[in-house]
Structure 1
Amino acid sequence: MASPTLFFIFSLVFLHVMFVLGNITLSSTLSTNDNDAWLSPSGEFAFGFRQLNSTNLFVVAIWYDKIPAKTIVWNAKANETLATAPAGSQVQLTLEGLTLTSPKGESIWKAQPSVPLSYGAMLDTGNFVLVNKNSTFEWESFKNPTDTLLPNQFLELDGKLTSRLQDTNYTTGRFQLYFQNGVLLLSPLAWPTQLRYRYYYRIDASHSASRLVFDELGNIYVERVNGTRIRPQGPTWGNSSLDPKEYYYRATLEFNGVFTQYAHPRTNNAYQGWTIMRYVPGNICTAIFNEYGSGSCGYNSYCSMENDRPTCKCPYGYSMVDPSNEFGGCQPNFTLACGVDVKAQPEELYEMHEFRDFNFPLGDYEKKQPYSQQECRQSCLHDCICAMAVLGGNTCWMKRLPLSNGRVIHVNDQHFVYIKTRVRRDFYDPGANEELPPGADSKKEDGAKPILLGSLIGSLVFISISMLLCAVSWFILLKPKLTRLVPAIPSLLETNLHSFTYETLEKATRGFCEEIGRGSFGIVYKGQLEAASCNVIAVKRLDRLAQEREKEFRAELSAIGKTCHKNLVRLIGFCDEGINRLLVYEFMSNGTLADILFGQSKAPIWNTRVGLALGIARGLLYLHEECDSAIIHCDIKPQNILIDEHFNAKISDFGLAKLLLFDQTRTNTMIRGTRGYVAPEWFKNIAVTVKVDVYSFGVMLLEIICCRRNVLTMEAEEEEKVILTDWAYDCYIEGRNIDALVENDEEALSDNGRLEKWIKIAFWCINENPEVRPTMGMVMLMLEGFVEVPNPPPPFSMHSIS
């Protein structure tokens, strides 16, 4: 009796194994809620969901399943965008194809051949295929690669590999491998677009290439039309000994732009890890040399090869823009601009630091010859545009920000790099990069430091005690008078803001004669300082009642005085003299976003509008999530977005801004903002959060997309179009063609995927419930395509916010 039972159990187990490891039948599904995957017969490869790090998002992927790293070799992408799926999503194989859907049944990604399918299969080669009734592959992952090739895989002339953005970020990145006119090329991309810059590596098959081959033995070569083979050339691509029986192989276009072949032992008792076998180009730091783009590293950083991989470093006085992204570029830890201080000499504001072992060979705006070391240093020091000077022999190249194509070089007796930074105000320099060697000048001073240190500390102690006694006496005797005469501005102690005299600003503006705009509580005038080469300024003169003026003045100083971001208008200084309260800003030559969108007969082109929207979003993200204390702007609208000469958008007019302390999420305040951009919670008896800015951004995003104001007069337009947010949502929900929203803008319509996605983002932002609105961090991820945008709920309802 036992034998039939055992046979039955064995049969069930066998059938289960064959189901899991064999062909995938129609109607089969995988869900993020399960741990299941479709395995190849050998179990070496798996197809299924992989969770993205530290998120609730998943991607559909293929990976090596027998090694601990579970290395991903393919992932699903829709129109060059990573197809991310929320928890609860599923993949289903049907007669029509393979479809990834959200928990609500919305389609996220699909592989949909034109011929009905019979089954799917995960093959031992790592190729996932969809097969018709004639056993022909109708779709296969090998024909739709992402960043990796496997043995037995070919890259055809119309195929390409695109790197991921970071090592653990599978979003489309900055480099691409592709064929052009029969030549295999590696090029940087103008990220986040697909525009290719000049190539940095090529395999020239005399314009007769037919495909890139990764054969079953692990060899990689370009195959010509006549069948001859051309292998990659270079000292880092040798004729390695290959043994596919002992090793797994893969070839990946890495996020850093290096095309690399890796090997991993098949046996579990061997060292488990991928090792670099060979790669091209040999030195990507010097291989990339383009007029456009940042180079192999991000802007203001320089590249060096270490352990066969490029690494990026910041110059002295600079730090990573994003500490988690080494290749994301660097930013100065100080203010470097023109017209900061009209009285001080450059030597009082800046200092020069000498280095020898790196260079930024492009981006020169001035060349001076013959020049000595001292002349080169001084020339940069006295030029407010200059961020760095490089001396080669007797030629001095002057460079401004941003710096590009940085790379390490061999130390040369004729090569000197001079970096300009702010003079240190205390004994701790937050701008120093401790990993970098000190400059040549600083080495000369090292011997004197121990001798001076003792006397310096003694002097400091004596001076500190004396100043403390004086301060206590002064505070007790004079505090009442001081409070009445000079309002305190404690935040200025932590900034580099310059205190201007009223006479200086009156002279700079020629008696406040040229009005260029009106902000909250004041009029803005154009001015010109005398003592700087880059000297055009904008001066806001506060002109309301004393109490309102004082609040405006303090709010603007406290909100923007300690901020530093390329998408915020820079506050240069102030005047706090008698009854006069003035704020001095950098001048924006292209006016406001309102001028550009609504004040011209021809709207700016779509790509320009895209750049402006992204810039505004980055500025708001900085205010909400990257400042020491979150800042609610409270009056985001096109009139408060200024445009500089390079068409960068910068947020201005912080007069209504509210600061949130680090342990706050909400603040109580009176109604603020401008009609048409004000979030509904301003009119309810609830505290407001940074989500009020998100609402205003959503309204403005629709204005940028449609190039029209949110609120129009009924005389000018049809009644249904008077309120843009209402009309746009009606068009969206009724399934109308979006041509009407962009008035047949061909450039916008050609970018249909982004257009529809951004319209949905705007609706999420203007939802009347602040809890439903995304944060600016999430908005940024959706705008840049890192996160899929689900269909938005209705932004308006008849229900109150609870």
Structure 2
Amino acid sequence: MASTLALLSILFSIFFMLFTLIEATHNTTEKTQPIIIPLGSFLAPKGENTSWQSSSGHFAFGFYPKGNGFAVGIWLVNPSENTTTVVWTANRDAPAVSSKSMLNLTEQGLLLQNGNRDSAMNKDLRDDSEENLVSKASMHDSGNFVLYDENSTVIWQSFDHPTDTILGGQSLTADDYLISSISKSDHSRGCFYLGMQNDGNLVAYPLYSRFSDLDAYWASNSWDLTYIPKQLSLSIQGFLCLNMSDEDDGDRLCLNDINKHSKKLHNNTTSIYRATFDVDGNLRLYEHQFDFESKNSSRVVILWQALNDTCQVKGFCGLNSYCSFNMSGDAVCKCYPGFIPSNTKSVPIDCVQTHSKDDCESIEDRTLLYNFTHFENMHWGDVPYSVIPVLIDMDTCEKACRQDCVCGGAIYTNGSCNKYRLPLIHGKFQNDSSSTVSVALIKIPSNIPIIISPPTSNNTNVPKPKVVIDNKKNLIMILSLTLGVVSLICFITAVSIFFTYRRQVNRYAMLSESEKLGFTEECSLTSFSFDELSESTGGFSDEIGRGSFGVVYKGTMGDNNRIIAVKRLEERIVDAGDREFRTEVTSIARTHHRNLVKLIGFCIEGSKKLLVYEFVSKGSLANILFEGEVRLSWKDRMKLALDVAKGILYLHEECEVQIIHCNINPQNILMDEAWNAKISDFGLARLSKRGHSRTKIEDDGTVKYLAPERQKEDASVSVKADIYSFGVVLLEIICRRRSIEMNNIHSPGEILLSSWAYQCFEAGQLNKLIRHDEKDVDWKILERMVKVGLWCVQDRQHLRPTMKNVILMLEGLEDIPVPPSPARLLE
């Protein structure tokens, strides 16, 4: 009897365990079953339907705030802090959409309606050859947003297109990469790139670099494994590992030890893991712990990070600056002595020289021309352009740099002297426990006072630099006397100019009032009032363009309702007074060429300055190349290139006063009814305030068209700067893509168009430059245009041809030699 009871008890226990297991499995399946989103569902930035949540409520897909508008992405909800952590963004470099936008789930995918413009958000993420129609979608608890066809087959998922984050269950293959965000609130592409190489090594680079070993600042060093890993995977348990594939769990290298770092709140805690390539260029593994008992309880823990020293990130600090630490141990960027910040960003910070270009080349004895500041334990990430092969002392190294006009600084280490040119890049202090001490010699003009605040830190592990300044009393005395005399002369001159100006100002005012300067009839210009232009443009309501100097509006004028374009110049940009403004406008009006937009009028009322142009109906070249559906034959492309070249040639050599455009780009090239290219905004660079010509262009995102010499604050401008910009535009006309492209590329080498074009030309593979749907390619015209474009984008000015030679080469009237590599660092 007892044995029978024992047997029944065992059977009952087994039955209860099976029942519990089945029930638990049922509950788990029910809990993790994704919520189906049917066709016709929609989201809006405001209202009740702003997002589609996963079944657990931890992830959501929809609209989130971005600047003054909204973006579409996936985020992880932190209920205790009432904040969101964005883990994926669609079209991350696109501008923010308005609050009136709507996202619809259609058979073609996700359709974003933004005002009058519709776009398929996943158009660029699906193969054009796919014919499967979308049947439904779902937001998974893993953070993966998926589109299905009618057979419940996955046809697109966000896990296949990572931005700066991978989640548990997601992998990063050799075809994928992570790019950091600009900031924690702006998830557009930032400054750093992390990718899995074909040799199995996971490597981090500055984004705009050559992607060589010298540019890398962190690597997993995993190429020497028995089985070369092909992907980086993050398991749902929080292991960040390198392995061959999803099935090869045995041969893997894990970057973190989760048992060492993770501490749960209690047993009722669930965790979600994410690996994010952060804003500062460091890869970190995060754990988000959620409490089952309290839905509003959660916390975030950093389990692992690739670098413990932020200063090791190349590109964290910009040009001519170095990385150090403040009192709280945070990494900060500072300028070298003799340099000042050129932007207002916190990081990366670029620095420019406080002095204008000196006459070093024309001075034989440069002993008194420069001083030196010494930094111990300083390291630069660039390659020296000159290494003195013999052992010398520090004074001799300093003298060698002083006599070399190219030298911007040198590193002296135990008799070795390495010279570097400006800009100095990737500067940082490093601990060196050996007896070898490296000293950085920073060269600055002798008339610049040396004021240094050495960085401090409360972290004993952070290197503290030792700054040494030359004490040259005699030189300081001579310079002080010289500066005193020069200052006195300048003061006397300034007083004389002031009184002379006061005598002349009334005479100029009387002349302007009585004769109206007499230039309106001469140049056939019309002087409009502000009220006239406001009425003709409907109160400046119809905006048709926005450029570096102001906004352009469409309007009508006269009895025949002639269509005009009115550019309203920004008041903070224009530097000239009324008389100087009229003089420059007169110079612009005297230019007459079929490939230049004609100026027909102006307006000056106080600080309000406007220019009236002829209306060019077909829009800009940028719209045709990058957004339009117009098919351009190779003869049409050659005609476009020649039209632009002839317009620039007229500005450089044929008009009365030479005009350097300074801002040649597809936005400033317009197309008329006969499809003739016309250049706009010429002559406006001379009206801008000092420094605006460069900084404003950078704000507009057209810095990629600037010649290398123009990216220096104190650089002089020559016609060769326009040649470089024309070369970039010519390559864009050929390839019908932007000069810097992050989408639809197969390798990092295709990001920079000029470098990729040279690689294809050198390899004899020009067919890679054109789109796969191109037909009837004229290979002779293609090769001729590519060779001309590569000559124009040479970093050295003297290698670029004149615009007259460019036209002769494009027309086939002059032989085109084989161009060298356009990149300075590759020469």
1:276 and 2:302 matched:
yes
The equivalent of 2:630 in structure 1 is 735
Cα offset for 1:64? Answer: 1.5
Q: 1:347/1:285 Cα in 2 relative to 1: closer, same or farther (>3 Å)?
A: same
User: Aligned partners of 2:496 and 2:242: how far apart in 1?
Assistant: 84
C-alpha distance after superposition, 1:415-457 (max 9, x if no partner): 21111112346x7x6x8567588964449899xxxxx99xxx9
The equivalent of 2:784 in structure 1 is none
8 Å Cα contact 2:321-2:427 kept in structure 1 = yes
Cα offset for 1:778? Answer: 3.2
Q: 2:592 aligns with which of 665, 670, 675?
A: 675
Which amino acid in 2 is paired with 1:280?
A: A
Cα offset for 1:148? Answer: 0.3
Q: 1:121 aligns with which of 138, 142, 152?
A: 138
The equivalent of 1:778 in structure 2 is 700
User: Aligned partners of 2:406 and 2:61: how far apart in 1?
Assistant: 54
Q: 1:323/1:184 Cα in 2 relative to 1: closer, same or farther (>3 Å)?
A: same
User: Aligned partners of 1:237 and 1:317: how far apart in 2?
Assistant: 48
- Structure 1's unaligned 5+ residue stretches are 1-17, 289-293, 447-451, 485-547, 549-619, 626-657, 706-727, 747-756, 789-802
The equivalent of 2:446 in structure 1 is 423
Cα offset for 1:325? Answer: 4.7
Q: 2:411 aligns with which of 390, 412, 416?
A: 390
Q: 1:388/1:473 Cα in 2 relative to 1: closer, same or farther (>3 Å)?
A: closer
8 Å Cα contact 1:174-1:192 kept in structure 2 = no
User: Aligned partners of 2:444 and 2:99: how far apart in 1?
Assistant: 48
1:23 and 2:47 matched:
no
Which amino acid in 1 is paired with 2:305?
A: Y
Q: 1:213 aligns with which of 233, 250, 268?
A: 233
Cα offset for 1:333? Answer: 2.6
1:682-697 pair list within 5 angstroms: 683-685=601-603
8 Å Cα contact 1:366-1:398 kept in structure 2 = yes
Which amino acid in 1 is paired with 2:41?
A: S
Cα offset for 1:261? Answer: 0.5
Q: 1:38 aligns with which of 49, 52, 55?
A: 52
- Greater mean alpha carbon deviation, residues 25-34 or residues 199-208: 199-208
Q: Which has the higher contact order (CA 8 A, sep 6+)?
A: 1
Which amino acid in 1 is paired with 2:237?
A: L
Cα offset for 1:231? Answer: 3.0
User: Aligned partners of 2:402 and 2:198: how far apart in 1?
Assistant: 48
The equivalent of 1:380 in structure 2 is 401
1:230 and 2:152 matched:
no
The equivalent of 2:87 in structure 1 is 73
8 Å Cα contact 2:601-2:613 kept in structure 1 = no
8 Å Cα contact 1:301-1:406 kept in structure 2 = yes
8 Å Cα contact 1:127-1:140 kept in structure 2 = yes
Describe the SS at the equivalent of 2:340.
strand
C-alpha distance after superposition, 1:630-678 (max 9, x if no partner): xxxxxxxxxxxxxxxxxxxxxxxxxxxx9835999x9544422343476
Q: 1:376/1:147 Cα in 2 relative to 1: closer, same or farther (>3 Å)?
A: same
- The size of the alignment, in residue pairs, is 535
1:354-503 pair list within 5 angstroms: 354-368=374-388, 369-410=390-431, 414-424=437-447, 435=455, 440-442=467-469
Which amino acid in 1 is paired with 2:116?
A: K
Describe the SS at the equivalent of 1:63.
strand
Cα offset for 1:322? Answer: 2.7
Cα offset for 1:152? Answer: 2.4
Describe the SS at the equivalent of 1:377.
helix
User: Aligned partners of 1:471 and 1:157: how far apart in 2?
Assistant: 66
Cα offset for 1:40? Answer: 1.7
User: Aligned partners of 1:137 and 1:415: how far apart in 2?
Assistant: 57
The equivalent of 1:183 in structure 2 is 200
1:48 and 2:68 matched:
no
Q: 1:89/1:222 Cα in 2 relative to 1: closer, same or farther (>3 Å)?
A: same
8 Å Cα contact 2:596-2:680 kept in structure 1 = no
User: Aligned partners of 1:163 and 1:473: how far apart in 2?
Assistant: 54
User: Aligned partners of 1:318 and 1:695: how far apart in 2?
Assistant: 44
Cα offset for 1:135? Answer: 2.8
- Greater mean alpha carbon deviation, residues 390-399 or residues 354-363: 354-363
1:105 and 2:27 matched:
no
8 Å Cα contact 1:120-1:130 kept in structure 2 = yes
Cα offset for 1:177? Answer: 3.3
8 Å Cα contact 2:37-2:137 kept in structure 1 = yes
Cα offset for 1:22? Answer: 3.8
User: Aligned partners of 2:136 and 2:350: how far apart in 1?
Assistant: 47
8 Å Cα contact 2:176-2:195 kept in structure 1 = yes
1:660 and 2:574 matched:
yes
1:250 and 2:306 matched:
no
User: Aligned partners of 1:348 and 1:222: how far apart in 2?
Assistant: 58
Cα offset for 1:473? Answer: 13
User: Aligned partners of 1:211 and 1:85: how far apart in 2?
Assistant: 35
8 Å Cα contact 2:378-2:438 kept in structure 1 = no
8 Å Cα contact 1:163-1:257 kept in structure 2 = yes
Cα offset for 1:313? Answer: 3.6
User: Aligned partners of 2:100 and 2:668: how far apart in 1?
Assistant: 22
Which amino acid in 2 is paired with 1:163?
A: S
Describe the SS at the equivalent of 2:399.
helix
1:144-163 pair list within 5 angstroms: 144-163=161-180
Describe the SS at the equivalent of 1:170.
coil
The equivalent of 1:610 in structure 2 is none
User: Aligned partners of 1:133 and 1:659: how far apart in 2?
Assistant: 57
- Greater mean alpha carbon deviation, residues 673-682 or residues 414-423: 673-682
Describe the SS at the equivalent of 1:228.
coil
Cα offset for 1:387? Answer: 0.9
Q: 1:476/1:25 Cα in 2 relative to 1: closer, same or farther (>3 Å)?
A: closer
User: Aligned partners of 1:481 and 1:118: how far apart in 2?
Assistant: 77
8 Å Cα contact 2:371-2:445 kept in structure 1 = yes
8 Å Cα contact 1:365-1:400 kept in structure 2 = yes
Root mean square deviation of aligned Cα: 5.6
8 Å Cα contact 1:360-1:405 kept in structure 2 = yes
Q: 1:272/1:332 Cα in 2 relative to 1: closer, same or farther (>3 Å)?
A: farther
Q: TM-score, normalised by structure 2?
A: 0.53
Cα offset for 1:391? Answer: 0.9
1:335 and 2:356 matched:
yes
Which amino acid in 1 is paired with 2:384?
A: D
1:170 and 2:187 matched:
yes
Describe the SS at the equivalent of 2:418.
strand
8 Å Cα contact 1:101-1:107 kept in structure 2 = yes
The equivalent of 1:506 in structure 2 is none
Q: 2:373 aligns with which of 346, 350, 353?
A: 353
Cα offset for 1:255? Answer: 3.2
Q: 1:745/1:759 Cα in 2 relative to 1: closer, same or farther (>3 Å)?
A: closer
8 Å Cα contact 1:164-1:170 kept in structure 2 = yes
Describe the SS at the equivalent of 1:319.
strand
Which amino acid in 2 is paired with 1:420?
A: K
- Greater mean alpha carbon deviation, residues 410-419 or residues 270-279: 270-279
Q: 1:433/1:441 Cα in 2 relative to 1: closer, same or farther (>3 Å)?
A: closer
User: Aligned partners of 1:152 and 1:731: how far apart in 2?
Assistant: 36
Cα offset for 1:31? Answer: 2.8
Describe the SS at the equivalent of 1:381.
helix
User: Aligned partners of 2:278 and 2:378: how far apart in 1?
Assistant: 24
8 Å Cα contact 2:238-2:258 kept in structure 1 = no
The equivalent of 2:219 in structure 1 is 201
User: Aligned partners of 2:632 and 2:739: how far apart in 1?
Assistant: 24
The equivalent of 2:823 in structure 1 is none
Which amino acid in 1 is paired with 2:306?
A: V
User: Aligned partners of 1:672 and 1:477: how far apart in 2?
Assistant: 27
Which amino acid in 1 is paired with 2:424?
A: L
User: Aligned partners of 1:479 and 1:699: how far apart in 2?
Assistant: 53
